[in-house]
Amino acid sequence: MELESKLNEIKKPIMVLGTSSGAGKSLTVTAICRILKNSGEAPIPFKGQNMSNNAWVDWNGGEMAYSQALQAFACGISPSSEMNPILLKPQGDSTSEVIHLGKSIGITTAKNYYKDWFIPGWEVIKKSLNSIYQRNPNSRLVVEGAGSPVEMNLIHRDLTNLKVAKYLNANCILITDIERGGVFAQIIGTLELMKPEEKKLIKGIIINRFRGDISLFEEGKKWIERKTQIPVIGIIPWLNDTFPPEDSLDLLEKKLRSTFPEIKVGIIKLPSISNFSDFDPLENEESILIEFIVNSQNLEKYDFIIIPGSKQTIKDQIFLEKSGLSDDIRKYSINKGHIIGICGGLQMLGTKLDDPFFKEGSKTKTEYKVEGIGLLPLKTTFFEKKLTRQISSESLWPCKSKINGFEIHNGKTELDNIENSFQVNPIFKDLDLGWYKESNEGGTIAGTYIHGIFENDSWRDQYINLIRKSKNLPILNKKSTSYKIKRELIINNLANEFDKYLNIEQLLN
C-alpha cells in the first residue's frame, strides 16, 4: 500500500527546514530525535538527499551520510541507508557520485542531475519512506531538509525539501542562524518565496545560535510572530559541544578544545578529504589538540600526523607532491615521526597508485599511474567497483584488542617490494586491513582501511600511549572514557539544552 493512503494513520512527521545551509538543521534533528526517544516515542531520522563525503556504512554494506547515522544513534537505533536514500559524493569538477539506497549507481554532473536523476531519485525516496513505515508503523519520522528550501533557480529539481514536506504533510520547523545576521530578512524572505500550500506547513520558527541575554530578543520574537502568524517555538543559545561537521568546509570553523594539550596532532587537509568523523574521538580527548595542515611546512611541532581518507586519491596524491607536503611527510618520518594513514591515506603512504579505470581522480593516461609517498612498500590498484562493509576484527598492534569499524574504498592494496616486505607487519588478524613499520629512530608509520579505528577505546588508548612514551610523558594506565559513552553524553547534553528552550509539544499533535 502506498504511503499517501496511510498518512492519516501515522504519527505526524516533523521536518526541519533552514533559511540557509549551516543554519543548524542537522543538530536540531539530532536533538529532537533524542528528546522524542527520551519521551517514550520511536523516532526515525530521514533526509531524502544529502551531499557529503562524510559517510557511514550500515550493516548491509550500504553507504549513507554520517549525519543521518549520528541521528540514528540519537534515536537509539542502528543506522540504515533508507534513512538517507540519496547520497551525492562530490568528486570535483562539478561532478558527484550518485548513491541510491546505499549502492553506487553512477556519476553525474550538476548540469545533468535534474535531467537524468530527478525521477529515479524521487522514486527511491518514496520507496524508502514506504519501507520505513512498513517496518515501523508506530514511529515518528524526523526529517531534515537541505540548504534553503527556496533556491528559486533549483526549486524545480529540489528532492529533499518542500517536495518531501508536502508528500508527508509534515509539521515543519523553519530554523535560522542569528549569528549570520539578517535574521528577520532570512525568515520573511524564505516564507515569502513559498507557495501558500507550502507556507501553511510551517508550524514553528527556531532562532539558532543566540548569544547573550535571550530576554533582549523578546520584541524581535513578537515582531516575527505578528508578521508571519507563525509561533517562534525556540530561541536556542550558542552551544559549545563539538559535533561532526556536515561538510568539509566546516572543518575551517571547528573550534580547538584543548587548552593545555600534551599531544599535538596534525591532520593533512586534503582537497578531497572524506570521512573526517574519524577524528572525533581524538577531539574528545582532553590531552590532545588537533590542527589541520593545508600548506607545506615543517611538521616537527606535531606529535603525530594523520593522512585522512580521500574521495579522489590520485588527485590528492598529486596535490601532496605539487604542494611539497609529500616531502614534508617524508622528512618528518626520518626524524622519529609517527604517521598514520586511513583509507586513502593508507594508499598514499604506499609506493604505487594505479587507476586504470579513472575512478580516483586521474584525468589522463599519464596520471593514472603515480608514485605514492613511498613510506610503506604497498601498491594499490583501483577497480571499477568499491568495497563497503562493516568490519569486526582483532588488532595485533599496538595492542591485542577487538576492533569494529567499516570499510568504504576502491582499490586493492598489497605488498609491492618483496625485499622490503619484511619491514612491515600486519596491524590486524585480517591481513589486508592495515600495515605498520617501526623506524630505527623510534618512529612508526601505519596505515589502515578501517574507518572508525579511533572509536575503539583500547586501540586508541594504546596508540596514544605509544605517542606519549615517545615524548617521555607518563603512560596513562587508567582507561579513558569510552568514546561511544562520550558521544551519548554529548547527544544527551545537546537534547537537554534544546529541551530547555524549544517548545516541541505543539508539533506532536
Which amino acids are annotated catalytic? 343, 451
Three cell numbers at 234?
525556540
Burial of 29 (C-beta count, 10 Å sphere; 0-12/13-18/19+): buried
Angstrom distance (rounded) from CA 254 to CA 147: 20
Phi, psi (degrees; rounded to nearest 5) at 13: -65, 150
Q: How many CB atoms lie within 10 A of CB 365?
A: 9
Q: Give the Cα separation of 328 and 204 in Å (integer).
A: 52
Q: Could you give the angle at which helices 66-75 and 483-501 cross, rounded to 10 degrees?
A: 80
φ, ψ dihedrals at 184, nearest 5°: -70, -45
Phi, psi of 117 (to 5 degrees): -125, -5
Classify residue 146 by its DSSP letter: -
Position 481: which residue type? Answer: T
Question: What count of Cα atoms within 13 Å lies in the side-chain half-sphere of residue 208?
Answer: 29
Residues 12/141, Cβ–Cβ less than 8 Å = no
How far apart (Å, rounded) are the C-alpha atoms in residues 101 and 83? 9
Quote the radius of gyration of the chain (alpha carbons, Å): 24
Residue 430 near residue 393 (C-beta atoms within 8 A): yes
- The answer to whether the CB of 431 falls within 8 A of the CB of 408 is no
- Determine the Cα angle at 21 with ends 36 and 319, to 5°: 120
Q: What is the distance between the alpha carbons of residues 361 and 368, in angstroms, rounded to a whole number? A: 8
Can you tell me the distance from the alpha carbon of 169 to that of 9, in angstroms, rounded to the nearest whole number? Answer: 12
The C-alpha atoms of residue 363 and residue 368 are separated, in whole angstroms, by: 7
Instruction: Give which of 88, 112, 114, 116 is closest to 100, Cα–Cα.
Output: 88
* CA neighbor of 70 nearest in space, from 88, 47, 92: 47
